[in-house]
Chains A and B, each alone.
Chain A
């Protein structure tokens, strides 16, 4: 194509200028790729972690839920004012929990349903009391839901079944208490009940929020601690085959069983907001960088066109149409955009790779040694589309101006 040849000659005759324009795009796209790779890597990582440690649906008795006051029940039509209404004195107990659980398991969309109960406890460490919680679970069902077996650091899952006063403790908690498998630990409930339990295993989910406070015990153990009867269960955790079915299914369960059924999206709303905020940040920074690069191209192209007025006049005088002239300059900006973006993708990949190699300590919150980086090709495609379209827009205005140049004005002016 002739216009392409001319554009190429123009670009090659000023290699330094071309390179500078390209570097602007390269920088913008490179930063975009590096940022988006890290941000989405982090997002996916935390989302996955949270997903593996929270149930898709949790059924529980929401005793703090708003309810009608007696006055409103008696006088539904009237104007009632009830101040500082307290929750009804009822326990968080789920009636028929085991029956509900086995009923839920018959649903083909459900992977597993684990009834459990949990209590706040203090772990005694000499004179120090560490705040935490203890969950009474059917450990085998729990394993089906959260793949606990893979998260056991020491000890054995099965040992809990054969040890009535056994305990599987979060790794962060075990470290703080300075205990190992085989050691005994004394726990106290807020009601003052004290019990000595034996550690049969240590697990690590990778999330500080869990590993630092949680232990698993048998259902009966926790019922004992809480001094409740054998049917006392406070929640049923459910995992689905398809996570995205959680919302509608939760609504359905809420209707059927009359208890609150919370899906994971509602439970993890804060985390999901974090994801959105990070995405907004990534894209706004990248777009800003690209706009700056776009202005660079706009300027350089404007300057080029100003310097090439005479050439444009000659081209037009010898029979090139406005379209041809516009094309010549548009091609230049597209080539700059395309090559710059391509180089940017490489720079971005290099940066992301370096980031993924750098050692990183997740500290208390997440147990990682390196930053999680996402190398999904989607963002590379978005990057090149971004880069090329920005330069196309930035190049279009000067190119159009070039096409509109009136050759006589210039020929006369010399």
Chain B
């Protein structure tokens, strides 16, 4: 089994309103194709950890390695490029660009990557939308889609560059139980059929129970 993501003794502090350690010596490694769920009480530091893992937050101590690339200490521009290629992020609040169509939203990160021509990117975007059952809504303005539909478009966007790892901060937190099930099934299918690695923060015990591994956090440390 190949290790896709590895952290070594990650500490993080907040200084406002007073110095306070949010993350305490986080050691974590994630294998390729693993569906991992991150659980824990509210305020224990899950989101904070996700931002560190996703390279958006660089203000931490310790080491972060994804796909055998050490990311700690890299410049913002390099990290943006790395994120573009290797990390798909699914937010709790689906976050699409409202002026663009569903299809354009999915295409943007791929256009940024610039590995494929526009026609190829479009074709790939349709393919991802089809996996999520959204291809018939492709040309709709993203602001005109329902919450569940938007979340599925956001997942398609996270998939578009075939990232090394998909990270989700409560990717189903905003969905009803039916849509939660739909999204969960899709994520699960991605790990099974495409060997996709997924790390998802969740408060949903049933969701967590069905993933490959549960990592529980408490007060800034990993319990198990």
**Cβ–Cβ < 8 Å partners of B112 in chain A:** 2, 318-320, 324
- The reply to whether B83 and A318 contact each other, CB–CB distance below 8 Å, is yes
| Complexed CA–CA distance, A322 and B83 (Å) | 13
Residue of B whose beta carbon sits closest to that of A410: B95
Q: List 8 A-B contacts (CB under 8 A).
A: A2-B108, A314-B91, A316-B56, A317-B83, A319-B82, A408-B56, A412-B51, A414-B92
CB-nearest residue of chain B to A9:
B99
Cβ of A321 within 8 Å of any chain B Cβ, yes or no, is yes
Q: Mark A157-191, 1 if CB is under 8 A from B, else 0.
A: 00000000000000000000000000000000000
Verify B80–A321 contact, CB threshold 8 A.
yes
- Would you call A408 and B57 a contact (CB within 8 A)? yes
A411, B109: Cβ atoms closer than 8 Å: no
Nearest CB to that of A1 among chain B residues? B111
Point out the residue from B47, B54, B84, B99 that lies within 8 Å of A10, measured CB to CB. B99
Does A89 sit at the interface, judged by CB under 8 A? Answer: no
Q: Which residues from chain A contact B111 at a C-beta distance below 8 Å?
A: 2, 5
Tell which of A6, A9, A10, A321 touches B76, judged by Cβ atoms closer than 8 Å.
A321
Q: Is the CB of A319 within 8 A of B97?
A: no
Q: Digitize A1-39: 1 where CB-to-B-CB distance is under 8 Å, 0 elsewhere.
A: 010011001100100000000000000000000000000
Q: Which residue of B lies closest to A11 (CB)?
A: B99
**B89: which of A310, A317, A324 is its contact (CB, 8 Å)?**
A317
Nearest B residue to A412, CB-CB: B47
A323 interface hit (Cβ, 8 Å): yes
**Interface flag for A41 (CB, 8 Å):** no
Interface size on A, residues (CB 8 A): 25
- Contact B109 A318, beta carbon cutoff 8 Å: yes
| CB-nearest residue of chain B to A406 | B56
Output the nearest chain A residue to B161 by Cβ-Cβ distance: A319
Complex contact B113–A319 (CB within 8 A) = yes
Q: Which of B80, B99, B157 contacts A316 (CB 8 A)?
A: B80
Closest chain A residue to B89 by CB distance? A317
Which A residues between 356 and 414 are near B, CB-CB below 8 angstroms? Answer: 407-408, 411-412, 414
Q: How far is the CA of A5 from the CA of B101 in the complex (A)?
A: 13
- Do residues B57 and A319 form an inter-chain contact, with CB atoms below 8 A? no
**B81 & A321 in contact (Cβ 8 Å cutoff):** yes
Q: Across the interface, do B99 and A318 meet the contact criterion of CB distance under 8 Å?
A: no
Given A9-B99, A9-B100, A319–B80 Cβ distance below 8 Å? yes
Contacts of B100 in A (CB 8 A): 9
What are the residues of chain A within 8 A of B117 when measuring CB–CB? none
Q: How far is the CA of A317 from the CA of B164 in the complex (A)?
A: 15
Please, what's the 1-or-0 string for B67-111, where 1 marks a CB less than 8 Å from any CB in chain A?
A: 000000000110011111100010111011111100010001101
Residues of the B chain whose Cβ atoms lie less than 8 Å from the Cβ of A320: 80, 84, 112
- Other A-B contacts than A311-B97, A323-B77, A324-B112, 5 sampled, CB-CB below 8 A, are A10-B99, A310-B95, A311-B98, A316-B80, A321-B77
B residues with CB within 8 A of A: 47, 51, 54, 56-57, 76-77, 80-85, 89, 91-93, 95-100, 104, 108-109, 111-113, 157, 169
Complex CA–CA separation, A313 to B113 (angstroms) = 17
Q: A10-B99, A318-B83, A321-B77 are in contact. Are A414 and B56 (CB under 8 A)?
A: no
* Contacts A2-B111, A314-B95, A412-B47 given; does A319 touch B84 at CB 8 Å: yes
Contact check, A13 vs B91: say whether CB atoms are below 8 A apart.
no
Contact B109 A319 (CB under 8 A): yes
Closest to A311 in B: B97
Q: How far is the CA of A411 from the CA of B90 in the complex (A)?
A: 11
Which residues of the other chain, A, contact B54 by a CB distance below 8 angstroms? 317
Quick check: A322 and B76 within 8 Å, CB to CB? Answer: yes
- Least Cβ distance of B121 to chain A in Å? 11
**Contact assessment for A408 and B85 in the assembled complex, using a CB-CB cutoff below 8 Å:** no
Closest-CB distance, B21 to chain A (whole angstroms)? 18
Shortest Cβ distance from B76 into A: residue: A322
**Contact present for A319 and B56 (CB under 8 Å):** no
B95 to A, closest residue via Cβ: A314
- The one of A318, A321, A323 that contacts B108, using a Cβ cutoff of 8 Å: A318
Residues of A within 8 A of B93 (CB): 414
Chain B contacts for A310, CB-based, 8 A? 95
Q: Tell me whether B51 and A319 are in contact (CB under 8 A).
A: no
| Closest A residue by C-beta to B91 | A411
A408 to B95, CA, bound (A): 13
Q: Which of A107-157 contact B (CB under 8 A)?
A: none
In Å, the complex CA distance between A397 and B115 comes to 32
* CB < 8 Å neighbour of A318 from B84, B104, B169: B84
Complex Cα distance, B145 from A104, in Å, reads 90
Q: Could you say which residues of chain B place their CB within 8 Å of the CB of A316?
A: 56, 80
Q: Enumerate chain A residues within 8 angstroms of B80, measured Cβ to Cβ.
A: 316, 319-322, 324
Report the separation of the CA atoms of residues A260 and B157 in the bound assembly, to the nearest whole angstrom: 86
Asked if B113 contacts A13 (CB within 8 A), the reply is no
Bound-state CA distance A321–B82 (Å) is 10
Measured between beta carbons, the chain B residues less than 8 angstroms from A414 are 92-93
CA distance A313 to B51 in the complex (A): 12
B13 to chain A, nearest CB (A): 15
- Expressed in whole angstroms, the Cα–Cα distance for A412 and B48 within the complex equals 9
A-side contacts of B108, CB under 8 Å = 2, 6, 315, 318
Q: How far is the CB of A4 from chain B (nearest CB, A)?
A: 11
* Chain B residue at minimal CB-CB distance from A319: B84
**In the complex, are the beta carbons of A13 and B56 less than 8 A apart?**
no
Chain B residue contacts of A407, Cβ below 8 A: 56
Q: Given A10-B99, A408-B57, does the pair A319, B91 have CB atoms closer than 8 Å?
A: no
